[in-house]
Amino acid sequence: MTLFNVIFQAFYLVQAGGTAMLKFFRHLLVAFDKDTNLPLTIDALKTMTGFNFMTKSIVKYTVCNKCFAIYLPGNRQPNCTFEKYTTTPPTYCGNPLFSDTEADRAVPLMVFPYNSLKNALAQHFAKPGFEHQIVQWRSRETVNSTLLDVYDGAMWSELLDEDDEPFVNHDHSLMLTLNTAGFTGFASTNACHICKHHFTVVAGTSKINYSGFDHENWVSRTKEENATEAEMWFCAESDAERAVLEKQHGTRFSELHRLHYFDPVRCTIVDPMHNLFLGTAKRMISVWKDLRYLPTAVLVRMQRLADGILVPPGYAVLSTKIESGFPYMKADKWQSWCLIYLLVVLKDALPEDDYKNWTLFVKACRKLTSPSVTYSEIDSAHQLLGEFGKECETLYGESSIMPNMHLHMHLHESMLNFGPVYTFWLYSFERYNGKLKNIKTNHRNGLEVTFIRVFLEKAFIGSFLRAYSTNLSSPLIEFLEGVAQVKSNSDSSSPLNLDAGHPPALPFSLAMFQQAATNPWYNVTGSEALPPTTLPIKLQPLTMMKDDHYQWLFEFYVKAYQSTSVSFCAVGRIPIGEDVFVNNRIQKVKKISLLGQEYCSGKKKKRGSFVRVLFLERTNDDVSEFPGQIEYLFTHTIKIGGVKRVSMFAFIKWFPAYHSSSHQPLADQGLQLWDKGFMEEDALCIVPVHPNNI
């Protein structure tokens, strides 16, 4: 009851509501003559259960709501004494800090609740396996000329400590990210934080002209120059003087400048989420609407086309947004619009030149948003974005160019420094903002404290329940996980770590995995070690294969293991070498995740069941790509050399070739047409699971 109380209050009730519920349970226990050793307050209940572990170290600082100077807890001075300018005599802010200084307990006008980094780290290090996970990168595999994670970016190894040694060389070094900056906004003519390019003002207006894509002539800012300019801004003696300096240099001062190892030029990223999707993609819709390319009738037709598109898992569905004129779309929907919908639904909506130019932007986005990216792909996307920007100037005029389009030409620098976009774009920050917005409050003063307390509690709830898992029954833990909206670790199906089915000589190898994924000549058997992030896989109980499916699986094994004698239940041995028995029992799998992409059975769920598979042509060495739909995923076990080998397969139904296969009307858009229905099933329906195939 105590655990339910504390969890239910944290997720569904404000403090007063939780206290009322607590009192009700006390009365209920008394009515049934049960032990009433239940605290009277929610805070006492959290202390008793240990739920306050994440929040007991929160410190509340008083903050000036004008200049945001911070004062230690217990501060009682009525006005802000921050020195705004370095003048003689000093110029102080003077803003009131409290709402009523005459009251016994003056209430700060603004507070800053803070959970120290030291305390946060201590809490994380208390989690099982945390310390091991944060050093796994040191033993990671790398792939030549490919960025797989933030560790592959230049900044990871080039950030130097006070002795000018790579910071990460120390065993206990940790890095973190902050959502902050100290540069001027886009209203400045010196708005770019990476280069010194000065924008002009359109004659007769206050509008800034952000055009110009001659990026090869742009001069980069340097850390040293930026520090000098920030210091000049800090030492200015008036707002007017600072405004002049901002216009000249585009820089303001930040306390981060005091960190000698921190380079605000390189370490302030261009966020791909805002830059590509919430920026340019959203902007171009406005441009096309102004040009009357997208009247209501066209939007309705576009929505009908969009409704026929089956969106892969992980991408948002635009159910009514297009028809309604793209209102209130969040970044994930703009991402789907660019990467999934756009080329299909805009084909007949835009003039040909506009459509062709927009395909340049889409191609660049597809290259840049891959989970892993090569240096050549980054260079290619950089060129595509430059061509797109120049053509926008031609099609829509210089006034159509927004700051985001200038920053397109710096995206490649952020990626080279920090790796693939998934390691640094701000989707996670935006999701956290959404979670903060949904926190229930009583709308009184002190919302900041409520936000941080509830946020930390919800982040801690999974670890909190795991601490009690050994003392409570599984059904009760599952119930509490449901109340807390925590993904359950239990499952009625059995988990499988496929590494246990591999010979010791075949651990997961990223290099071999990539080779198999890019080289169609590589003999993929389905028993290759899968990426660690794929495991564990949830398996259903053993079941018998259909006779014809079993026959085709056997044929696959004969071809895959040509140096081994394979025996079949109803067929004799093939005398090639060692005896291998192929049974007809399999374990089906509902879904599997490969390198961030989820694939699932088409019987239960269509999204994620469509795939493209590479094949070598029978008549020549050409590589062809064929689309199909997964009917089911399954694992199968055989024994070779006394070692069990677990293989992962997909049974795929293939789409027929387009009735006019010699002509593909959408080829210029990078799209292929295939007929409806499925081809007759045969042995080619058995496909080993690997990114090379799926």
Higher pLDDT, 684 or 122: 684
What pLDDT, on the 0 to 100 scale, is given for residue 694? 55
What pLDDT, on the 0 to 100 scale, is given for residue 368? 96
> Which of 59-68, 207-216, 319-328, 638-647 has the lowest average pLDDT?
638-647
461: exposed, middle or buried (Cβ count in 10 Å: 0-12, 13-18, 19+): buried
Tens digit of each residue's pLDDT (9 = 90 or more) over 181-223: 556 666 678 889 899 998 988 888 888 899 999 999 999 999 9
Residue 134, domain member (yes or no) = no
Report d(CA 159, CA 432) in Å as an integer. Answer: 28
Residue 299, domain member (yes or no) = no
Residue 366, domain member (yes or no) = no
Domain count, the chain: 4
The secondary structure of residue 692, as a DSSP letter, is T
Tens digit of each residue's pLDDT (9 = 90 or more) over 22-78: 888 888 877 877 777 778 888 888 888 888 888 888 999 999 999 999 999 888 889
In sign, the C-alpha dihedral spanning 341, 343, 344, 350 is positive
pLDDT more than 90, % of the chain: 39
Residue 267, pLDDT above cutoff 80: yes
Residue 637, domain member (yes or no) = yes
Q: What are phi and psi of 317, to 5 degrees?
A: -95, 130
Q: Exposed e or buried b for every residue in 592-606, given b needs 16+ CB within 10 A?
A: bbbeeeebbbbeeee
Higher pLDDT, 615 or 258: 258
Domain extent, residue 206, equals 200-267
Q: What share of the chain is helix, strand, coil (3-state, %, to 5)?
A: 40, 15, 45
Half-sphere exposure of 478 (CA within 13 A, CB side): 7
Residue 596, domain member (yes or no) = yes
**Together in a domain, 471 and 548:** no
What interhelical angle do 447-468 and 474-483 show, nearest 10? Answer: 160
**Together in a domain, 39 and 69:** no
- Tell me which amino acid residue 86 is: T
What pLDDT, on the 0 to 100 scale, is given for residue 499? 46
Residue 281, domain member (yes or no) = no
**Together in a domain, 476 and 617:** no
Tens digit of each residue's pLDDT (9 = 90 or more) over 388-417: 999 999 999 998 999 999 999 999 999 999
Residue 292, domain member (yes or no) = no
Domain boundary among 244, 267, 290: 267
**Together in a domain, 518 and 618:** yes
Tens digit of each residue's pLDDT (9 = 90 or more) over 484-521: 877 655 444 455 555 444 444 356 777 777 666 666 66
Residue 577, domain member (yes or no) = yes
**Together in a domain, 520 and 607:** yes
